[in-house]
A and B are shown apart, each in its own frame.
Chain A
Amino acid sequence: DIVMTQTPLSSPVTLGQPASISCRSSQSLVHSDGNTYLSWLQQRPGQPPRLLIYKISNRFSGVPDRFSGSGAGTDFTLKISRVEAEDVGVYYCMQATQFPLTFGQGTKVEIK
């Protein structure tokens, strides 16, 4: 199984300041079709997960442009350029390059 490791597990951030979450996979996430199936999901309190970013850096429909994804191979990053109150929640990276599909442990973003 591909293990997804997120850091930090908790990120207290001041409103308006940036936040960054790292996700490292135990194997390369480059698929044989040339794509890298690494996505980021946001889970607000009491809500189901919501897709933010897919294939490393593609922002999903309706996602604010303060969210961006980057990386390659085994190292990936989600950045929030200026944290807003509605960004509070837990963020998960997920890989779909290889079965079984796996998620990171989650990173809790909270306001200082």
Chain B
Amino acid sequence: QITLKESGPTLVKPTQTLTLTCTFSGFSLSTSGVGVGWIRQPPGKALEWLALIYWDDDKRYSPSLKSRLTITKDTSKNQVVLTMTNMDPVDTATYYCAQLGIAAAGTFDPWGQGTLVTVSS
């Protein structure tokens, strides 16, 4: 069974850096074709893709946020870490991590439960 779980602070101040960790089980990020992505959802709004890292360490970012995002993986720990700099109240959202590409090509499944991050002073 594949599971993913997001962890990190629930509250950050404006201008701070957010660090989120996705800890997963049931698969390896060293397996060809596998990826893990981050997606966020502001309260009551739609999903927005942020970043993706593949098994071969290829990294992709949303162009609108690229300057603020860094995604890394630790294969030995089964973790993917997303950092977002210069946080702003508009970044308040539930942040999800999800697996890309094993059971269903070209989409995300399964997803973690998500973690709500509030940006406020």
Contact = CB atoms under 8 A, between A and B. Distances in A.
Interface of A: 1, 31, 35, 37, 39, 41, 48-51, 54-55, 58, 60-61, 92, 94, 96-97, 99-106
B107 A51 contact: yes
A100 B38 CA distance: 12
Contact of B104 (A1, A31, A60): A60
Contact of A50 (B48, B111, B112, B114): B111
B46 A92 contact: yes
Given A48-B96, A101-B37, A61 B105 contact: no
Nearest to B4: A48
Interface in B68-121: 96, 98, 100, 103-114
Contacts of B64: 100
A63 B46 CA distance: 22
B104 A49 contact: no
A54 B46 CA distance: 19
A55 B105 contact: yes
B20 interface: no
